[in-house]
Amino acid sequence: MDGEQLTAQETALYDRQIRVWGADAQRRLSKAHILVYGMKGTVAEFCKNIVLAGVGSLTLVDDRMVTEEVLSSNFLIPPDENLYSGMTLAELCCNSLKDFNPMVRVSVEKGDLSSFGVDFFDNFDVIVVSSCSLAAKKLINKKCRTASKRVAFYTVDCRDSCGEIFVDLQDYRYSKKKLEETINCHLQYPSFEEAISVPWKTLPRKVSKLYFATRVIEKFEEVEGRNPGEASTADLPGVLKLKKELCDAHSLNESHVPDNLLERLVTNTSEFPPVCAIIGGILGQEVIKAISGKGDPLKNFFFFDALDGKGIIEDISSDSNTGK
């Protein structure tokens, strides 16, 4: 890089991981600025991972107050009302995260992320959002894309024992060593809006059913004006009806979106801690890859369902599906 060296303190602390990704990657990490929005269990896991990894700074945005549900999966918040009352989720998590690694600057930004100007996004290399409405996801993604430099955008959500990650690295170039050769790679990512607009019937037959199910739920919440994760068993008939409509519109056989999967996703909207750990871990690795330029980043969706145990990558972009 630019000749700056890691300090002896950094080398000692990060010894084991420098052995995984090298000193160069560690230097890049220490200069990266990351923002997260939506401090539930999965994001807490992610934050822990990248603070330990030694990023330059981490900014937390979430003005909500503590709820029972957040407490159940977020280990960054002490379950003592005397300790958490009056503070926002971001503030509480910030206090805990600071402790994990004194070399990382952790701070809180108040407000509604989707209303922030594009110049605000310029301050970051990576934006991760969770528990966000469909409209907010699209909007924030758009702002990342209009920033003056590349701002990587990720969404992450877990429900029941399922999880989804979406990745937009825009125009991403990296090189890797294969044997003695250095290979230059180039990936082009669609935005979230572009990705979810790809007609379902053009997707490969084996695309994860979770992809469709998540889109149905996401759409349902939007149409019904619900907050993300705000659904219950009572909504199942409505969700199933919407599924049928969407499948018809996309000329997709309904069997691709199983009713029992949708039922799971509306019945239990809270996060399942082992899945938070898994999804938060995969997301941590992906962000580290994108910052360090080491390793093949995933393009552009990742799904995990504890029921079958598979952690699957799906490439959902208009250009990649035609040939398959």
Partner 1 sequence: MASQQQLSVIKGTKVLMVGAGGIGCELLKTLALSGFQDIHIIDMDTIEVSNLNRQFLFRQSHVGQSKAKVARDAVLKFRPHISITAYHANVKDPDFNADFFKQFNVVLNGLDNLDARRHVNRLCLAADVPLVESGTTGFLGQVTVHVKGRTECYECQPKPAPKTYPVCTITSTPSKFVHCIVWAKELLFAKLFGDKNQENDLNVRSSDAESSSEHKDDVFERKKDEDIEQYGRRIYDHVFGYNINLALSNNETWKNRNRPRPIYSGDVFTNELTRQNGNMDKNFATDDGTSVSAMAYLGMKNPQDIWSLVENSRIFLEALKLFFTKRGKEIGNLSFDKDDQLAVEFVTAAANIRATSFGIPLHSLFEAKGIAGNIVHAVATTNAIIAGLIVIEAIKVLKNDTSSYRMTYCLEHPSKKMLLMPVEPFEPNKSCYVCSETPLLLEINTLHSKLRDFVEKIVTAKLGMSFPLIMHGSALLYEVGDDLDEYMVANYAANLDKVLSELPSPVTGGTMLTVEDLQQELSCNINIKHREEFDEEKEPEGMLLLGWTQPFLAAEKDDNKSNGNDASTSNASTTATVEAEMDDEIDVIHAGKKRKLSEESKDAALGISRVADGTKNHKVLEVLADEDDLVMLGDEETGTKKKRLL
User: What part of residues 87-116 is at the interface with partner 1 (CB under 8 A)?
Assistant: 99-102
Using CB under 8 A, pick the residue from 188, 268, 293, 321 that binds partner 1: 268
Going by C-alpha positions, the residue among 310, 284, 311, 286 that lies closest to residue 299 is 286
Using CB under 8 A, pick the residue from 4, 68, 117, 178 that binds partner 1: 178
Query: Going residue by residue from 55 to 74, which x/- string records binding to partner 1, judged by CB under 8 A?
Result: -----------------xx-
Nearer to partner 1, 40 or 145 (CB): 40
Using CB under 8 A, pick the residue from 181, 309, 322, 323 that binds partner 1: 309
**303: β partners:** 164, 312
Cα distances from 44 to residues 37, 89, 208, in angstroms, run: 10, 10, 26
How many angstroms separate the CA atoms of 117 and 132, rounded?
A: 18
Query: Going residue by residue from 225 to 264, which x/- string records binding to partner 1, judged by CB under 8 A?
Result: ---------------------------------------x
Interaction of residue 53 with partner 1, rule CB under 8 A: yes
Q: Which amino acid is at 165?
A: I
How many angstroms separate the CA atoms of 21 and 34, rounded?
A: 19
Residue with tokens 């580290």: 288
Nearer to partner 1, 46 or 220 (CB): 46
Using CB under 8 A, pick the residue from 302, 316, 317, 320 that binds partner 1: 302
Token output for 306: 């504890």
CB 58 within 8 A of CB 258: no
H helical segments located in 30-88: 41-53, 68-73, 81-84
Q: Give residues 273-292 in contact with partner 1 (rule: CB under 8 A).
A: 273-278, 280-282, 284-285, 288
Nearer to partner 1, 9 or 123 (CB): 9
Token output for 108: 């809180």
Q: Give residues 20-39 in contact with partner 1 (rule: CB under 8 A).
A: 20-21, 23
Stretch that binds partner 1, among 85-93, 122-130, 146-154, 302-310 (CB under 8 A): 302-310
Token output for 168: 């937009």
Interaction of residue 218 with partner 1, rule CB under 8 A: no
Using CB under 8 A, pick the residue from 25, 34, 45, 106 that binds partner 1: 45
Q: How far is the CB of 77 from partner 1 (least distance, A)?
A: 7
Interaction of residue 323 with partner 1, rule CB under 8 A: no
How many angstroms separate the CA atoms of 67 and 226, rounded?
A: 17
How far is residue 160 CA from its own chain's centroid?
17
Please state, as a whole number, how many other Cβ atoms lie within 10 Å of the Cβ of residue 3.
5
Nearer to partner 1, 169 or 282 (CB): 282
What is the bridge-based pairing of β-strands 152-159 and 162-168? Answer: antiparallel
